[in-house]
Amino acid sequence: MEYSNQFRTETDSLGEINVPKSAYYGAQTQRAINNFQISGKRLPKSFIKAQGIIKVSAAVTNMELGMLSKTSGEAIIQAAQEVIDGKWDDQFVVDIYQAGAGTSQNMNMNEVIAHRASEILDGYRHSHHVHPNDHVNMNQSTNDTFHAAIHLAAIEMINQKLLPSIQNLKDELEKKSIELMPIRKSGRTHLHDAIPIRLGQEFSGYAATINTAYEQILKNADALYEIGLGGTAIGTRMNLPPEYIPKIMKEVCERTGLPFREPPNMFQFMQNTNAPIRTMLALKELCIHLIKITSDLRLLASGPRTGLAEITLPSVQPGSTIMPGKVNPAILEMTHMVCCQIIGYEAAMTTAGIAGQLEINVMMPIIAHTLLESIELLSNAIPTLVSKCIIGIQGNEMICNKYMHESLALVTALSPIMGYDRAAKIGKQADEENVTIKQVLQQKNLLTPEIEKALDPNRMV
């Protein structure tokens, strides 16, 4: 190994390559850096942490099995724990658009841990006292560990960040529903007049919709607890001691506090990306509902003088560089944009999922990126939606009441009394003359006490 002022020369199976002298990564990572200058994006810290947990668990297991010396094993455990703690985040430098299956990413992890472990042992990070493949990657393959790391990272983020955020959104919508329940208003179908509804009832529908999405994510994400550690290259467990899988599974469960389990069929796990696909579908469904809800709220808040203006949103920032004083529904627009991005990511996930061939799906890096990025985006956007918008929504009872009493759909109450056809003619006349249903009935001397009682919109909700 030769050194210059800024670089050292390392060797791999393809020959020599210069690597920055200060780097903990090695030759294979450097080749990936040189080959894949695509997006400048890296896999997130959650994924790096998950890889670190797997490397620690493998080292503990291999030491217990007598395959890894105590000296090397303890150094690997310390180095991997530092990775888990985020100490070496700047050393994970491979672009998300990289060689298939994530081999470059796995070698980036192996090399950083190996060099740091060597440094722990003899103070010299590039001595190769600990080897990235022979020691750090012992009894592992990219194909089983990268796949498993996706599951680890995703389910941790879902449990710790996403599900609590969704639960809080549901809770706040329920609170808002109770608060707004006294306000009656005109319903709308096809964006046209419909029979009356309570404003709180609309919000109760939003809350129930979010709760259903929460339950679907919880159900679909359960498959993420299946991790195929020990499948090695294609699921055959080649070179693996029989005790390895139960031991490493136990170690991962203890270190994460999560109930990971072996897949029913290791080959299915290696060949497919079932759990990420299912989870992504549930995230897409949540986004569809969030777009509907945020679009509704934008309509209900439109105005303030020329729109519906049935609700008022909190003002969070100026809305125009040319129109003074204008305030836009910024938080709702942000949420809609996030959801558009995630729906696009789901399409990427689908395309990557159908790219599996024979014993493996090599699109793992983009699958990891799309799933973890989606969870992160939603975990950040939803609390912002709640704190900066939902909590501060106010109902405009005066406007709601005005629209309700002018609604042509009130004629629906006349159908049981005078029949559908006759009621329709009254509604049509009110529309043509731009008057209320009650005014038409007064013109025709039809406003009996029974009909007046039936037309009271407060009795319709």
- Any idea of the CA torsion for 280, 164, 297, 196, to the nearest 10 degrees? 110
Span 164-219, pLDDT tens digits: 999 999 999 999 999 999 999 999 999 999 999 999 999 999 999 999 999 999 99
The 10 Å CB-count burial string (b at 16+, else e) for 128-148 is bbbbbeebbbbbbbbbbbbbb
pLDDT of 8 higher than 70: yes
pLDDT higher at 39 or 457: 39
% of the chain at pLDDT higher than 70: 99
Q: 0.75 exceeded by the pTM?
A: yes
- Residue 14's pLDDT band (cuts 50, 70, 90): very high
Sort residue 95 into left (φ over 0), alpha (ψ -120 to 50) or beta.
beta
pLDDT digits (tens, 9 = 90+) for 351-386: 999 999 999 999 999 999 999 999 999 999 999 999
Residue 125 in this model has a pLDDT that exceeds 90 = no
Tokens of 450: 């029974």
Beta bridge mates, 186: 196
What is the DSSP pairing of strand 192-198 with strand 311-312? unpaired
- State yes or no: pLDDT of 105 exceeds 90: yes
Mean pLDDT of 454-460: 89
- pLDDT digit string, tens, across residues 325-334: 999 999 999 9
Whether 4 shows a pLDDT value over 50: the answer reads yes
**Side-chain half-sphere CA neighbours of 34 within 13 A:** 10
Q: What share of the chain is helix, strand, coil (3-state, %, to 5)?
A: 65, 10, 30
Q: How far apart are CA 441 and CA 426, in angstroms?
A: 8
Please give the domain boundaries of the chain with CATH numbers for all domains.
Answer: 22-138 (1.10.275.10), 144-396 (1.20.200.10), 407-459 (1.10.40.30)
Q: What pLDDT, in 10s, does the model give residues 84-99?
A: 999 999 999 999 999 9
133 pLDDT exceeds 70? yes
310-322: average pLDDT: 94
Given a cut of 60, whether residue 293 has pLDDT beyond it is yes
N-term to C-term CA, the chain: 81
Confidence of residue 123 (pLDDT cuts 50, 70, 90): confident
Mean pLDDT of 413-420: 93
Distance CA 429, CA 147 (A): 66
What pLDDT does residue 143 have?
95
Average pLDDT value over all residues in the chain = 95
**CA 268: distance to chain centroid?**
25
Q: With a cut of 60, say whether residue 2 has pLDDT above it.
A: no
Catalytic amino acids?
A: 190, 320
pLDDT for position 5: 76
The answer to whether the beta carbons of residues 10 and 27 sit under 8 Å apart is yes
* Longest alpha-carbon distance in the chain: 104
- Inter-residue contact 342 to 283 (CB < 8 Å): yes
pLDDT band at 1 (very low <50, low <70, confident <90, very high): very low
